[in-house]
Amino acid sequence: MQHDNMATAVAATLGALDEHSTSADAATHQLAVKYARELDGAEWIGRTAEKIIRLVEDDPETEIDTLQAVQALRNKLSARQTLADLGPKLTALLVELGATPKARAAMVKAAGGGSSVPSTSKLSALRAGRPA
């Protein structure tokens, strides 16, 4: 299944976990979605900052400090920087929730399962307390 953006992909992942989540997981879910939305918005912010820089550069009355401030802001809010900052944090949250292949494999292994890479149906069976 392909998703248009990170936020919908994360929401779908968390939705698949809802059956096994508790109310104690709600804040973690919300934070994961917030990180995903920030990642999605970073590309738009970067494009907008580039447009502003072109406008500022073309204006002969622009102070050099203003141009440097806008460039610094663009760099701080760039998609690459946002991904570097939030990507590992989002991944860590998803691991905590058991929403990555590696985390699911560890859960199966801890539960005494034989496969290090479980299928979704086997994981569902283990979570439900049924024999896999």
Least confident of 18-22, 24-28, 56-60: 18-22
pLDDT at residue 61, as a whole number:
86
Mean pLDDT over each residue of the chain, to the nearest integer: 82
User: ∠ at Cα 64 (59, 65), nearest 5°?
Assistant: 125
Given this model, what pLDDT does residue 89 score? 95
Give the CA radius of gyration of the chain: 21
Q: pLDDT value at position 66? A: 85
Q: What is the pLDDT of residue 130?
A: 61
Strand ranges in 1-132 using DSSP code E only, listed in sequence order:
none
Residue 36's pLDDT is 94
What's the whole-number mean pLDDT along residues 100-117?
76
Residue pair 94/32 in contact (Cβ under 8 Å)? The answer is: yes
**Cβ within 8 Å of residue 125, ≥6 positions away:** 131, 132
* Mean pLDDT of the region 36-61: 86
